[in-house]
Structure 1
């Protein structure tokens, strides 16, 4: 058994090596980006391939990695990252963190869509998955700069499509996340990338979720505050129609509930010198005001299987790592549960010790919180889209920082 070639030798050509082994098991050649299962790789052959890797290169992966990285390109990149290097300890360990509602804006990622064939293909794929439920192409919505992207019925599927496409584009460039975490609606793209939901099932859940919420009565909102949950407890006790909607950092708590009650709380907070800001949302998300949605949503979700994540998944419903199946009970609870982002992010940082965290979304929202939570010795935090006009050059810079391959089908160099 050889762990790797001598340090002065060339690194293994993993794609060519995997292609040769797979051709032997499948009795035909397989393209680098084709899914193993679609070409007939079964569990016996997968274990055989795992054994070949173990014999040739040593203990670089687990047997489950064959299915977690189910193409030659992705599995080769996984092997490359796991290969010991002279000096050791310098391998990139990137976690993906998906933004939630409120990060959307007209024309988001339009420049990237026009510049990068890889991203264009993935966004087209996600947009096609949600189209039967939205009646409007998310690609057309984005490219036209349509202001309706702020309407919940469009915002949620559009954000899901963008998050899924960004993550898959990075994966195709060789960036394989060591863990995923999603904020609010971002959990659905995180679950799809982690293999807990298929693209088709995630798209359906997101689309019906947004549509059901869109038609709730108006009168709800959300208020971002520079306060701790403890500081807000006494105030919210006097306002039963308001609760905590999200805890993003030590002094970054979002209240959610009735607009009139939020306005009264805003006056009291500002009088006490605590900064706060209303969020641009149409409803009181992650609050009891969402309860009328639950029966209809659960009826849809029960018909979809869900499953356990195949990557480490940090739940912002529970505020911790979970390996439990993500199916109807989880997604139904998620609608009214507070987003425990800070708890989940702290546990991810402590358990996974990533070198990098990539914010997956159309603009910077969570990166400042992640930097605060990570501290001065924490990971490098990189937004996939640093600004509203982000394009392939920006994403190529992320790939370069992560020691990844150039973006597929892009004129941007890395």
Structure 2
């Protein structure tokens, strides 16, 4: 049987919500050693184990979405999902991720061991809990058919240009993620036309990928040395759409980007997906769980480039019903197509 080539996409913060409570228990009861390693790391830091967070009786927005709890919980779900992909059906050819998902991509891609990846994620989650400033707001820049909306994009560009406290944080397919201080967030709420649930602040999120966090890289580099980084086992695509090859990666440079520009400059997830599609020509994109929020941004970027003939939301949904191009492991029907 010919294996399908797959680009792996790792999720960022905000993907473990009430619907995901119990994700590890439901899907990964066979990975006791992996989960025990994560729990031991948390317990050594005096923190709630991931198994206890996942096994809580009720979901708590304050508890489950805080930086120091959500980060390793999402890591646990995503890396366990990566381990569960059926390698007889799918050949991972490259890996990328959104925002915090870059740390997960480093682990899935073999640059960091499971233990080192967990340490990096938990350290950064704890550091951001203590040192995070400002917040993030999301706003769509596509229409109902997932086509680019030039007027919305122009408005956002103007607000960024005219206000020093408003920054582009993430280009996320059809969503623009903006970073700002409190005054900037209030300005965005006034200036961006309201529709549906937008503009929407992200709960418990700092102003990631913006100058508001320029104080964090030195703190992170002091805690996490370059010696933990190795050359990846497969190509990585970062938040500037640069490719890190198994054959030529400078691990000091990779460490410098991960704990430097990745923290305080814009993250271009859209460009990373474009590069993944054009450079690796995958048969499918496999989106690791938890959650299902990454499907639309990936699809919107593929539509923008007319990848595999996709012309809009309707065309994408039709294709998904017959021969899916995007497989989200957070969706039960698509998960069944991916796991062993």
- Give the TM-score, by structure 2 length: 0.79
**Match for residue 330 of structure 1?**
257
Q: Are 2:101 and 1:101 equivalent residues in the alignment? A: no
Mapped to 2, the partners of 1:272 and 1:102 lie a distance apart of 21
**Match for residue 248 of structure 1?**
172
**Match for residue 30 of structure 2?**
118
Specify every segment of 5 or more residues in structure 2 that has no aligned partner in the other structure, as ranges. Answer: 142-151, 311-323
Given that residues 119 and 169 in structure 1 are in contact (C-alpha distance below 8 angstroms), is that contact kept between their aligned partners in structure 2? Answer: no
**Match for residue 225 of structure 1?**
139
Distance 1:102 1:399, change over 3 A: closer
Specify every segment of 5 or more residues in structure 1 that has no aligned partner in the other structure, as ranges. Answer: 1-79, 82-90, 387-393, 406-414
- Which residue of 350, 353, 364 maps to 2:292? 364
Q: Are 2:308 and 1:380 equivalent residues in the alignment? A: no
Q: Are 2:267 and 1:339 equivalent residues in the alignment? A: yes
Given that residues 178 and 352 in structure 1 are in contact (C-alpha distance below 8 angstroms), is that contact kept between their aligned partners in structure 2? Answer: yes
**CA drift at 1:320:** 3.3
Deviations 1:320-369 (A, max 9, x none): 32223454312212111212100010010111111111111211111112
**Match for residue 64 of structure 1?**
none
**Match for residue 270 of structure 1?**
193
Deviations 1:159-207 (A, max 9, x none): 1111111111225776441211111111112111111111222111111
Matches within 5 A, 1:92-171: 92-106=4-18, 108=20, 110=22, 113-114=25-26, 116-133=28-45, 135-144=47-56, 145-147=58-60, 148-170=63-85
Given that residues 287 and 328 in structure 2 are in contact (C-alpha distance below 8 angstroms), is that contact kept between their aligned partners in structure 1? Answer: yes
Q: Are 2:224 and 1:301 equivalent residues in the alignment? A: yes
Distance 1:121 1:235, change over 3 A: same
CA RMSD of aligned residues (A): 2.8
Mapped to 1, the partners of 2:179 and 2:160 lie a distance apart of 10
Mapped to 2, the partners of 1:119 and 1:174 lie a distance apart of 21
Mapped to 2, the partners of 1:233 and 1:115 lie a distance apart of 42
Matches within 5 A, 1:36-51: none
Given that residues 25 and 54 in structure 2 are in contact (C-alpha distance below 8 angstroms), is that contact kept between their aligned partners in structure 1? Answer: no
Distance 1:343 1:171, change over 3 A: same
Mapped to 1, the partners of 2:69 and 2:195 lie a distance apart of 37
Ranked by relative contact order (alpha carbons within 8 Å, sequence separation 6 or more), the top structure is: 2
Distance 1:155 1:266, change over 3 A: same
Deviations 1:1-32 (A, max 9, x none): xxxxxxxxxxxxxxxxxxxxxxxxxxxxxxxx
Given that residues 24 and 77 in structure 2 are in contact (C-alpha distance below 8 angstroms), is that contact kept between their aligned partners in structure 1? Answer: no
**CA drift at 1:231:** 4.0
Q: Are 2:207 and 1:207 equivalent residues in the alignment? A: no
- Which residue of 271, 277, 282 maps to 1:349? 277
- Which residue of 197, 202, 211 maps to 1:279? 202
Mapped to 2, the partners of 1:161 and 1:273 lie a distance apart of 32
**Match for residue 11 of structure 1?**
none
SS at match of 2:193: helix
Q: How many residues align?
A: 304
SS at match of 1:304: helix
**Match for residue 237 of structure 1?**
161
Distance 1:165 1:127, change over 3 A: farther
- Give the TM-score, by structure 1 length: 0.66
**Match for residue 242 of structure 2?**
320
